[in-house]
Structure formats: structure tokens, C-alpha cells
Structure 1
Amino acid sequence: MLIRNCAGGVVFKDDKVLILKNDKDEWVLPKGKIRGDQLPPETALHRVRFEAGIDAEIVSTAGETAYEFFSITRNTPVCNKITWYIMESENLAAEPNTEEGFSEGGFFDITEAMDKITYSQDKSLVSLSYKRYNEFRDYRGKLGER
């Protein structure tokens, strides 16, 4: 089995989360393979920018997921291990990269995004990340009150 280390972002702007529709009509989060000397956070930020045109800032780690599939082109099973980061965007101006196969995407209210997201693993990740993101926002708000 081929193991691929990947990284991605769960990007929020207020009460909205960034999701993308890929060429398989799946609603997913931006992610990609870690290449060369890149560190996981660098890869995650790069993939968010590359796939959705969003410049984001990492707020926290979100955890790790993994999934397996059979690669027809490689004729071998593949396991993608993804390190996730909770991110925040300054704006909602997402531009899905159509050349990479993303036909739609943008920031959606959490409830709508949860209805759209294809994989239950991604739904769980968004749900947990949203809770942590709100804790971060509350903490930051309290710091601003001083």
C-alpha cells in the first residue's frame, strides 16, 4: 500500500466554513499531498490558497484523518493520512480552481455545509473544528475586553 502524507484546512469566516465541489461531485475540504521539504502547515495553507483562492491564517490544529482507496492509474491501494488545521479567513471571496477540477465552492453556513459535505469523516471534522474555532473566538474576544 502506498502511504501519502497530506495536509488540509478547515477554514472559517465567522459562522461559515469553506467547502469545495470536486470533479466527482463530492463536497470536500481543501487538502493535498505534502511535497518535498514542505511542512504540514505550509502545505495546508498552500492548498487552501491554490484550490480556493483564499489566504487564511492557522488558528489551531484540528486533528488527523485517514482514508484508503484503490488508485487505478497506479494499480495499487493508497492510504492518505491528512493533518488538518483550523484556519480563519479575512474574507468570503473564494474562487474555486476550475483547472484543478473544482466546479463550485465557497463559504457556507455550518448547517448548509454539513448537509452538502459528502463524507461523514469530514462532517465530524468540521463539527469539532467549529466548536474549537468558537472557543478561540470567545477567548480572543475576552482578550480584547481587557
Structure 2
Amino acid sequence: MSSRLAKQKSNIITVLLLILNCVAFFVVWNLIYPASPVLKTNFDLKAQLGFYDLISSQYEVYNLDLESTQGTIITTVINPDQPEFLFKGKLTRINMGDSKLGFYLTPIYYRTPKQNLIMDGFLNQLTYGRFSAKLLSNNANRLVLGPNGIIFIT
């Protein structure tokens, strides 16, 4: 029974970390596209995305490349430790009203050498769900509010 409880806690922590990474992605998104629905035409961002599961002490690091092309964003994700891992997808921005930003992810190509990666759950969540964040700003600071109550100051 205790191993079942530990597994449930591990799953909850993994889901919370995935949500945190989504919100972090929105912070980057809002830095690139402040409040305008129009995409910048010559945009290219390279960043690193990390996941960590406290219970299993499992971590994964990925290199992320976001590039705007004809009004959409093409994303490429690779794992520097596993060159066999590759994800390509298209992010389509949607306006959700009331200063909320959202997007859909459409997978183009996905190749992974392993099963049950933390990234698998993250990509599933992005592919089959719609994510949004609310942007609040004044002259000095901008706040990004995530769906689970996490607040980032940018």
C-alpha cells in the first residue's frame, strides 16, 4: 500500500512539474510576444527545458529551438544526451480574450529511443490540451498567471 501511495505522490509531483514547465514556457512566450496577436516575422529562440521528478530522482534536459515561419512557430526539441530523441511541432497561437494567451501544439515528427519519459507526458499535455496564461502589466513589471495559480514576474 505504501508503494502505491509513493507512486501516486510521484505522479502528482510529475504533473505539477509539467504544469510548472508549461508556465515557464508561457513566460518565454510572453517575453517574445508581449500583448500583440501578430507574430514577429524574424524570430529565433534557443533555450533549455528541464524536468525533474523528486520522488524517482529522474531528470531530463532538452534543447529547445523556437522559430517563427509565416505566422506560426516551428519548435524543435532535442535531447543532448540522447541524439536519437527528436520532436518537431507547430505552435498555433490562439487569442482567448481578456488578455489571456494560449496556443495549440500540432506534432509534426516525434522519435524517442525510450518509453515513459517525463517529456512524453509534457508533449501529450500540450498536444491534447489547450494552455493559457493571463498577462497583467504595469509600467514596471509584468506578471504571468498560470492555470494552477503560479505567478511569474517578468
TM surpasses 0.5: no
Q: Relative to total residues, which structure has the larger helix share, 1 or 2?
A: 1
Normalised to the residue count of structure 2, the TM-score between the two structures is 0.26
Normalised to the residue count of structure 1, the TM-score between the two structures is 0.27
Q: Relative to total residues, which structure has the larger strand share, 1 or 2?
A: 2
